């Protein structure tokens, strides 16, 4: 991870120290993807065990570097009781509803290439619709949407933002951005939804407080 700059030196130690000082065992923690650089599920085991060992109930989604990710059933079998995969579905935890997807670069972004990305972008909208449909079946007081790719920038927002707003989601957390790309991150309220960038180097490897229930 040091390809993203000197802030990533000894990042696992920093994360463990800050996590243990911040998170209680009865807290809910949202992990927005990129859990491991591994290429297979077996290779990812030490990283998953590291996350599993930390306090709290962890809800996680897949990131663009999670090449180890196999079928959802295999991933769920490989993770312990304190790790919950969010994959085209939704969950609740102490009155908080959680939904989300990896997402994808969207039209209007400089990196969006219609020929390469349109199919994946359409698929992302379908997958979010599935997750929101499952969220609607649950009882919750407040709902959070998780994305890996940011659904919003300082200049614009994607259709995913409209979808979560219409579903009654009030908070959105996302990651993916590092180094200079963090200059594009939007944080704050837009159209009734609070957006939070929680990339590890952006929050200094310290879990960020989203809600206090």
**60 domain-assigned:** yes
Check residue 63 and give its pLDDT: 97
pLDDT digits 0-9 by tens, 163-190 = 999 999 999 999 999 877 889 999 999 9
**CATH classification of the domain holding 51:** 3.60.21.10
DSSP state of 114: H
**209 domain-assigned:** no
**210 domain-assigned:** no
Q: What is the pTM of this model?
A: 0.94
**205 domain-assigned:** no
Check residue 181 and give its pLDDT: 80
**50 domain-assigned:** yes
Residue range(s) defining the domain that contains residue 81? 2-197
The number of folded domains in the chain is: 1
C-alpha torsion angle, residues 137, 142, 145, 150 (rounded to 10): 160
pLDDT digits 0-9 by tens, 23-69 = 999 999 999 999 999 999 999 999 999 999 999 999 999 999 999 99
pLDDT digits 0-9 by tens, 102-122 = 999 999 999 999 999 999 999
132 CB neighbour count, 10 Å cutoff = 22
């Amino acid at each position: 991870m040091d390809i993203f700059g000197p802030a990533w030196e000894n990042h696992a130690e920093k994360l463990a120290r800050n996590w243990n000082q911040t998170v209680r065992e009865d807290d809910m923690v949202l992990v927005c993807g990129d859990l491991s650089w591994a290429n297979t599920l077996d290779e990812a085991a030490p990283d998953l065990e590291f996350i599993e060992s930390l306090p709290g109930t962890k809800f996680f989604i897949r990131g663009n570097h999670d090449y180890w990710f196999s079928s959802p059933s295999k991933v769920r079998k490989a993770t312990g009781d304190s790790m919950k995969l969010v994959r085209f579905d939704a969950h609740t935890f102490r009155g908080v509803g959680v939904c989300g997807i990896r997402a994808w670069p969207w039209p209007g972004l400089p990196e969006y290439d219609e020929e390469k990305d349109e199919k994946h972008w359409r698929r992302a909208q379908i997958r979010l619709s599935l997750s929101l449909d499952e969220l609607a079946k649950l009882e919750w007081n407040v709902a959070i949407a998780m994305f890996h790719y940011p659904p919003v920038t300082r200049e614009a927002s994607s259709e995913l933002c409209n979808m979560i707003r219409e579903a009654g989601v009030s908070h959105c957390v996302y990651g993916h951005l590092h180094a200079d790309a963090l200059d594009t991150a939007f944080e704050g309220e837009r159209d009734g939804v609070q957006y939070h960038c929680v990339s590890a180097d952006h929050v200094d490897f310290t879990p960020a407080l989203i809600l206090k229930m």
